[in-house]
Amino acid sequence: MEQVLMPTVLNGKRFDFSDAEIIEPVSEVNVLKRTKHFIEANTVDVTLEQLQNDCITPVFAKDNELTISHPLFIRTVEEAAKDFFRGEEVESPVIRASHIIKGRIPSAIYKPANQLLETDKTQYFERCAFSVDIPTIYQDINGNRLFLSVVGVRAYNQQNLYSKKVPELFRVAIGFKNTVCCNMCIFTDGYKGELRVSSTRELYQRVMELFSMFNPAKQIHLMQQLCNSSLSEHQFCQILGRMRLYQYLPMRLQRNIPRLLITDTQINNVAKSYISDEDFGSYGTDINMWNFYNLLTGANKSSYIDMFLDRSLNASEIAMGINRALHGEERYKWFID
């Protein structure tokens, strides 16, 4: 069966996928398991309606100016995706939230907690992440179907709400989601980690700029290359050992090594999944770099929302860097020496 990556023309801009190498025909493609989430950690499913109707919007304390709320953030990015990818199927946002902040309305300040009514309580989520999937733009890699997805992250804990209103911090990424496991594949040209804006109009413009700069053919090509390289079990264990060692190196030594954001707990999850994961585990045999990459992105799903996209990008950097080191490049060679 011929692999398809569609479309080639979006919003007047041509995306040429001819440079993407096709690895092999795939007779059957795994479909999305709806029970899996693009991020897990301590997050919960919420709907846009719950965020709009059940949650207050925080303000900047010194001038009582409103922040851009989670629902406004989500709707703005969703609108940008629909406008840029006009004619494609753009699904409704899937939203995950964490770190609920509870409060009371002024008239209930002195009530005992056991006498509070629901109408006396206020709440909002400190951190929110969402994905907007575009399933009509897809590619198959190593038997896995990937489709385009836009991800947004907002974390109020990284915003000084005790000051006057200043440009607010958002993180937005566009990349491919592996439908087998809902792992996100984020690359540099598809990620804005320091997107600071003062209005939804400015946010919309910056998101559209990100979409324009994103090169899907390049990302697909780089991910396909991972299928051509493998790690022996010895090399895999060597890499995990080096990753554990990295956390304890003096800063002067860490500066000479490419950054590693994955935590010890996540490294343990990579080791566990190498043995037990039905889709990407390879215990007893060589593991190709595509499966190794998915072990990293799978472990990253345990990250808190505020670090999720940074670690997603770092997982791509590590996988691509080690793949190049296997072919003689020096920069990431420390991990496999």
User: pLDDT tens per residue, the chain (337 residues)?
Assistant: 334 454 444 444 445 544 444 434 333 344 334 458 999 989 999 999 999 999 999 999 999 999 999 999 999 999 999 999 999 999 999 999 999 999 998 888 888 999 989 899 999 999 999 999 999 999 999 999 999 999 999 999 999 999 999 999 999 999 999 999 999 999 999 999 999 999 999 999 999 999 999 999 999 999 999 999 999 999 999 999 999 999 999 999 999 999 999 999 999 999 999 999 999 999 989 999 999 999 999 999 999 999 999 999 999 999 999 999 999 999 999 999 8
For residue 36, the model assigns a pLDDT of 84
* CA angle at 247 for the pair 264 and 230, rounded to the nearest 5°: 70
Distance (Å, whole) CA 170 – CA 313: 16
- pTM of the complete model: 0.88
Q: So what's the pLDDT on residue 272?
A: 97
- The reported pLDDT for the residue numbered 6 is 44
Q: In Å, what is the CA distance from 186 to each residue of 41, 147, 314, 331? A: 18, 12, 9, 21
Residue 188 — φ and ψ, nearest 5°? -55, -45
Which stretches of the chain are DSSP H helices? Answer: 48-54, 70-84, 200-213, 216-225, 233-246, 251-254, 264-276, 289-300, 305-326
Helix residue ranges, H only, 94-215: 200-213
b (16+ CB within 10 A) / e for 224-235: bbbbebbbeeeb
Query: d(Cα 257, Cα 116) in Å, to the nearest integer?
Result: 54
Cis (ω within 30 of 0) for the bond into 167?
Answer: no
Four-residue CA torsion sign, 232, 236, 238, 239 = positive
- Residues forming beta bridges with residue 170, ordered by sequence position: 195
For the chain, give the number of residues.
Answer: 337
CB 146 within 8 A of CB 178: yes
Across 29-63, b (16+ Cβ under 10 Å) vs e yields beebeeeebbbebebeebebeebeeebeebebeee
Separation of alpha carbons 15 and 17, rounded Å: 6
* Burial (CB count <10 Å: 0-12, 13-18, 19+), residue 162: exposed
- Cβ atoms 173, 310 nearer than 8 A: no
Burial class (CB in 10 A: 0-12, 13-18, 19+), 107: exposed
